[in-house]
Amino acid sequence: MSEKATLKRRTFLYTSAATAGAVMLGACSSNEQSPTSPGSTKKPGGGPSDAPKGSETKPLTKPAKFNESPMLAEQVKAGSLPAIEQRLPENPYVIPHKWVKPGKFGGNLMMISDVATGGAIAASNKEYSYGHSLLRWLNDGLNIGPGLVESWESNDDASEWTLHFRKGLKWSDGEPWTTADIMFWWEDLVLNQDHTDVPPDECKSGTGKVATLTAPDEVTLVMKFDVPAPLTADRLAMWVNGTVGNGPKWMVPRHYAQQFHPKYNKKVPKNWAAVGGLFERKVDYSREPACPTMTGWKLKSLKEGRTISWERNPFYYCVMPNGDQLPYVDTLTMSIVQDKQVGKLQMTQGKLDYVHGAFYSVDLPDISTMKQSESTSGLDVVLWDGGSGTGSIFFFNYDHPDENFRALIREPKFRKALSMAVNRSEIQKAVYFNTGEQTTGTLSPKAKEYLASDEGKQVYKDWRDMAVKYDPEAAKKLLDELGVVDKDGDGMREFPNGQKLTVRLDYPADTSDEHKKKNNYLERDWKAIGINAKQNPVAPDGWSDSWKAGKLTSHTAWEVGDGPNHLVYPQWLVPIEPERYCPLEGQWYNVRGTPDEGKQLNVDPYKRTPPRMEPEKGGPVEQLWKLYDQTKVEPDEMKRHALVWEMIKIHIEHGPFFMGTVANTPRVVLAKKELKNIPRKENLALGGFANPWIHPTPAVYDPETFYWENPDQHTV
């Protein structure tokens, strides 16, 4: 069978699957967009219009009394645990979500984990608790609320921030939590050259200079920057924090960790940081049961390659509005299953209670199977908005090592032509089951800058639509204008100088089916306009180094999901590191202000250590940098929005630098029908924002509030 025929057959099969899946998808939730999406004009669907929506933005009143789990009440009665009033801080964090209701204590949640290699637990296992975060995002990132920090303020130019922590916080072992636990992390790990921890972004100013952190007392932390740092609060709400994985530690239980540090224990070897990773393992609450934590559940046991067990933290500082101390569920049991099909079989057989699809590759194609097995599994299919601005993307290496190819890639007409040659309607149907919205590629449609004003909404539409229309004839015309034509009569176009042109669709070999399916369409559609495209799986182990060195042609297995605003994680908007579309120019920015900045300037950019390249003077990358540097020190939010809009206009004029397919497709969540307080799409301020790691989901929706209608029926 010919290659062309094979692709047609694949298209038929994917389309058939999409048709069946779309029927099931419609039974789960409306396909309409959230009305808060910039491009939406429809009313929300998929749930009652009077459903409790969003979260309160002002801290709720402290409950008059507190209630606790019966198992803890028994320990208090036996004298093995202090009374609840002594375990909670003076002012606990009161859950502000409007959809939560008082629940019942008890029971176990059966969950699933897919990575456990050498004791390193998947980062996803930490995404269920916001407990270590200083501040918390609310309403899908539109607002910032308290966390461990009860209140905070900055000076007039936002160069000094004062954080006031809750009085009476305690670690899971009952020991007091104080700012000394932050200063231990800061002084003995981050500022210690013998340790691998480095200052996180929220501790750096716009000039790259590290802030000064001081702790005037046990509940106050002061952060001083050399210039205004207006995004500090947003950045303190990012990630889940607390251990190795997603986000920095930000705190370490000093009373416990000192025994593993040579400064405090002379028996620890001088090369302590390198000795088998002992310190890192001992202070990782997701691997070491003895390590105290501030999360709702604490690790009970870890059986390599089998199960991870968590139990309630009796000192957790979060309560319901009625005074119930969280979590409601006593224990979590995570089974480690590395074979995806085995895991999905367990779901259909009813062996699992809650599955966050992003962590176990439960995607839209699985909905049909999950719905058909509903009577056996007892699982509801819940759909939250993913919030992606692109779906599966493709982008070229703007710093390609071949000068001829680099010049072509840097031509906006070339990238626009290839974007316009892609039939996104077929991808939307076959890969995303007619959900989401077709896009050229933007940051998340839920980002604040798009919702701030009519101008923001228009900028979003202009970016989304700039090269989204499927128009192969217009694409051919753009290529003709560039001199990229078929010179030798073989049906495929060559470089303007007659050199053979082959576009490699590079991707890590272990990527998901979503990206591989999309790549089949790219290959087909680009060949249809005379571009010889070939898919090229790359060994995962060597992928990152090859990309950062500028050796690859394209990246076709990622998505852009970032928000809640463009500036907390701006790497897609502006090249400031080597992972994305300008690897060498991004690295040039990355080393600014470091000892490497002025080194090896006479060395070939691709042979420098690290490989890096200065951007073209006055070119789009330099323009983006200048605007970005202004945003980092601009304290006025609307002025920052305006600077972001100017940056987006550069993307529109000189882009697309990355090209999307379908934005804001649903994220699948599976939950037992008897499991309560799980928000539906209509409960969430923007319909959900599940994809970005920096907006940690489901942690932002506080799984500690989940409860069983009949807890006694769900014990270990």
In the predicted structure, residue 646 carries a pLDDT above the cut 80: yes
Among the CATH numbers 3.90.76.10, 1.20.58.1610, 1.10.10.60, 1.10.1060.10, which is that of 131-294?
3.90.76.10
Q: Which strand ranges, in their side-by-side order, compose the sheet holding 354-356? A: 354-356, 666-672, 379-385
Confidence category of residue 256, pLDDT binned at 50, 70, 90: very high
Confidence category of residue 25, pLDDT binned at 50, 70, 90: low
Superfamily of domain 47-129+298-386+667-716: Periplasmic binding protein-like II (3.40.190.10)
In the predicted structure, residue 134 carries a pLDDT above the cut 80: yes
What was the pLDDT predicted at 196? Answer: 81
Confidence category of residue 36, pLDDT binned at 50, 70, 90: very low
What are the DSSP calls for 629-676, one per residue?
Answer: HHHTT---HHHHHHHHHHHHHHHHHH--SSB-SEES-EEEEEEETTEE
Q: Write the pLDDT tens digit of every residue in 6-20.
A: 334 333 334 444 444
pTM score: 0.91
DSSP 337: -
Among the CATH numbers 3.10.105.10, 3.90.930.12, 1.10.3720.10, 3.40.640.10, which is that of 395-663?
3.10.105.10
Q: What crossing angle do the helices spanning 637-654 and 620-631 adopt, rounded to 10°?
A: 170
Give residues with Cβ within 8 angstroms of 108, minimum separation 6: 329, 330, 331, 332, 333, 714, 715, 716
> Between these two residues, 686 and 18, which has the higher pLDDT value?
686
* Mean confidence (pLDDT) of the chain: 91
What was the pLDDT predicted at 269? Answer: 84
Contact 338, 113 (CB under 8 A): no
Q: Write the pLDDT tens digit of every residue in 179-220.
A: 999 999 999 999 988 888 889 989 999 888 999 999 999 999
What was the pLDDT predicted at 151? Answer: 98
What was the pLDDT predicted at 198? Answer: 87
Region 137-148: what's the mean pLDDT?
A: 96
Q: Write the pLDDT tens digit of every residue in 392-436.
A: 999 999 999 999 999 999 999 999 999 999 999 999 999 999 999
Q: Write the pLDDT tens digit of every residue in 269-306.
A: 877 766 657 888 899 998 899 999 999 999 999 887 78
In the predicted structure, residue 657 carries a pLDDT above the cut 70: yes
Q: How many residues does the chain have?
A: 716
Region 520-524: what's the mean pLDDT?
A: 98
What was the pLDDT predicted at 339? Answer: 85
Region 562-571: what's the mean pLDDT?
A: 92
Neighbours of 603 (CB within 10 A): 12
Specify the domain boundaries for CATH 3.90.76.10 within the chain. 131-294
Specify the domain boundaries for CATH 3.40.190.10 within the chain. 47-129+298-386+667-716
Confidence category of residue 4, pLDDT binned at 50, 70, 90: very low
